[in-house]
Amino acid sequence: MATEVVKPWWRETLETIVWAIGLAVIIRTFIVQAFWIPSGSMLPTLEVGDRVLVAKFWNWFTTPSRGSVYVFKYPEDRSRDFIKRIIAVPGDTVDIRDGVVYVNGAAVDEPYVKNKDHYTMRSSKFYPVVPFVVPGDMYFALGDNRPNSQDGRFWGYVPMKDIHGPAFFRYWPLMRIGFPR
């Protein structure tokens, strides 16, 4: 007859803590991560202080699509994360004239943009030719609050390798809980 080995309470506690930390690291690294919205660049879709969950595994199954809200590493400082809306995908031709975004020659219907501006795309170090074509494995992203958004108009493209995933659920504040569109 086998005898059961009883572990001391401190060892049980230590093993539980190690397993919990290990699972948390795996989940945060590969599955889902929470992000805090620090600015008003995505108003009214996301407000300052909102907290969202990002599906980091989503990029294993699909590529970012036009109109979706994604979190990515800020191209000018990869230690920071930004959240913006994907406006154009690889191969798309983009132009912005008097605040209207054109993708592949057609004006984009943007009901989520409540604060419009009159920005017109000009040649720059990121876009030597306007209209421009989004290079392969890159994305063009803009904030919903156009007059107050540091976005792709000013820092260029977002590489696919820097995209964490889509913001799929707002869990805070409780009165705004839901799916950001």
Q: What residue ranges do the domains of the chain occupy?
A: 33-176
Q: Confirm whether 7 is a catalytic residue.
A: no
Q: Confirm whether 65 is a catalytic residue.
A: no
Domain 33-176 sits in which CATH superfamily?
Umud Fragment, subunit A (2.10.109.10)
Asked if residue 47 lies in contact with residue 176, where contact means CB atoms within 8 angstroms, the answer is yes
C-alpha span between 155 and 163 (Å, rounded): 15
If DSSP codes are grouped into helix, strand and coil, which group holds residue 143?
A: coil
pLDDT tens for 120-170 read: 999 888 899 999 999 999 999 999 999 999 999 999 999 999 999 999 999
Q: Name the active-site residue from 7, 39, 41, 79.
A: 41
pLDDT tens for 48-67 read: 999 999 998 887 788 999 99
C-alpha span between 88 and 127 (Å, rounded): 14
pLDDT tens for 94-105 read: 999 999 999 999
Round the average pLDDT of the chain to a whole number and report it.
91
8 compared with 92, residue with greater pLDDT: 92
Q: Name the active-site residue from 7, 65, 79, 84.
A: 84
Torsion angle of C-alpha atoms 170, 31, 161, 155, degrees rounded to 10 = 20
pLDDT tens for 20-33 read: 887 777 766 667 88
C-alpha span between 28 and 140 (Å, rounded): 26
DSSP state of 92: -
In this predicted structure, which of 7-11, 19-23, 85-89 has the lowest mean pLDDT?
19-23
